[in-house]
Structure 1
Amino acid sequence: MTMATANWDETVWRSGHTAWKWVAGYGAALALAGILPLSQPVLAGLALAWVLGFALIVAGALALWAGVSRRGWRSEWLDIGTGLLSLVIGLGLLASPLFAAISLAWMLGFWLVACGVAELATIATTRLHRGWLAVLGIIDVVLGIFLFAADPVTALAFLGFAIGLSLTLRGISLVFLGFRLRRY
């Protein structure tokens, strides 16, 4: 490890130390938002516009706030971009539940693939949390591709599970990161 890299890592970890409670709280909120669709995937699939739209709005608002306030742990553009995308898709689900029931698998598949690709791309620009970013990015891309390829009935039942798993794992990773930041 070069001296510049060591100083960069130390600077990033120290600045994160002051925000560790927020990072852990943000992660806990995301994990809780993911439990609802994960615990009732069939119900979530049937009530898709309301349950998943609300979860995406909460996740989007948190990510957007993290990016705008610069309290997130990753780059602002990633938090703002995924936050805006989550808000737009979440509001779209609530605006037209019937249309959402027909096209939800594709919209959520797109959201998962876009978030996964963004997380994988972020690995090249950050040293923090690379392992979790890689795991989350791969899971999101695989789940998104599955939703694109699944028949409508399977996709409907799988929607709640896919979003719940994504939000819960993302939240758990941020809780771990928050407690790791606390040590520095």
Structure 2
Amino acid sequence: MNNSYGAGNLGPGALVLHSLAKNWWMLLLRGIASIVFGILAFTWPGITVLSLIILYGAYALVDGLFAIFAAISGGAATNRWWLAVVGIVGVLAGIVAFAWPGLTAVALLMLIAAWAIVSGIFEIIGAIRLRNEIDNEWMLILHGAISVLFGIFVWMQPGEGALAIIWVIGAYAIIAGVILSILAIRLRSHAH
């Protein structure tokens, strides 16, 4: 018996899970990009603000494109709008960083904070919508919560400047990347 989703007896949550599991490698690429960004932040302690803006812009753009691709390639799943929002926000943040590289350190931090808060909230929403479909939704909730907390921390410390907070940005990126990579590997088992 087929339902309106065209996938047998699968409901919208199961279709989202199937979509994420089918494209687990996209989530893994997002995690790897995040880890690489974090490592670069730590290995270039003398990074200039302009270099930080370019590095951040590239990371946000790549992460956003991966998220959009995962949302679009989901087939018949109807509840992946949150993943598209995460991707669009990342792409916009990357474009803004490239379009106005002369942003001050404080403006850059506000952009990074806003991106982390918005994407974290939508990842939490997406994980809650998947809670009945997967066992490890807490990993996506954890990633979203870390993003929101990071964004709030950065928002509350704008006077520190981009160079003083680079270690926090790098640590966040590495932790978030590890969580996304682990989630991707766990989703891979659902793809079969």
Distance 1:23 1:147 in 2: 25
The match for 1:77 is 81
The one-letter code matched in structure 1 to 2:101 is: P
Question: Which residue, out of 120, 137, 154, partners 1:130?
Answer: 137
Residues 44 and 54 from structure 1, CA distance in 2 versus in 1: closer, same or farther, beyond 3 angstroms?
farther
Counterpart check, 1:87 vs 2:91: yes
Over the aligned positions, Cα root-mean-square deviation in angstroms equals 3.2
Distance 2:128 2:106 in 1: 36
Question: Which residue, out of 121, 125, 133, partners 2:125?
Answer: 121
Distance 2:48 2:178 in 1: 21
Question: How far did residue 101 of structure 1 move?
Answer: 3.4
Question: How far did residue 165 of structure 1 move?
Answer: 3.4
The match for 1:105 is 109
Distance 2:89 2:174 in 1: 18
Distance 2:48 2:146 in 1: 20
The one-letter code matched in structure 2 to 1:93 is: A
The one-letter code matched in structure 1 to 2:120 is: G
The one-letter code matched in structure 2 to 1:169 is: I
Residues 108 and 159 from structure 1, CA distance in 2 versus in 1: closer, same or farther, beyond 3 angstroms?
farther
Question: Which residue, out of 156, 178, 182, partners 2:184?
Answer: 178
Query: Relative contact order, CA 8 A, sep 6+: which one is greater?
Result: 1
Distance 2:171 2:15 in 1: 32
Alignment of 1:13-162 (within 5 A): 18-40=22-44, 43=47, 45=49, 47-70=51-74, 75-127=79-131, 128=134, 129-159=136-166, 161-162=168-169
Which has the larger share of helix?
Answer: 1
Of all paired residues, the percent bearing the same amino acid is: 26
Distance 2:120 2:14 in 1: 27
Residues 165 and 62 from structure 1, CA distance in 2 versus in 1: closer, same or farther, beyond 3 angstroms?
farther
Whether the 8 Å contact between 1:136 and 1:166 is mirrored in structure 2 is: no
Residues 83 and 43 from structure 1, CA distance in 2 versus in 1: closer, same or farther, beyond 3 angstroms?
same
In structure 2, runs of 5+ residues without a counterpart are: 1-9
- Name the TM-score, length of structure 2 as normaliser: 0.72
Distance 1:103 1:17 in 2: 37
Distance 1:149 1:18 in 2: 39
Count of residues in Structure 1 that have an aligned counterpart in Structure 2:
176
Whether the 8 Å contact between 1:30 and 1:171 is mirrored in structure 2 is: yes
Q: Which moved more, 1:113-122 or 1:150-159?
A: 150-159
Question: How far did residue 56 of structure 1 move?
Answer: 1.0
Whether the 8 Å contact between 2:83 and 2:126 is mirrored in structure 1 is: no
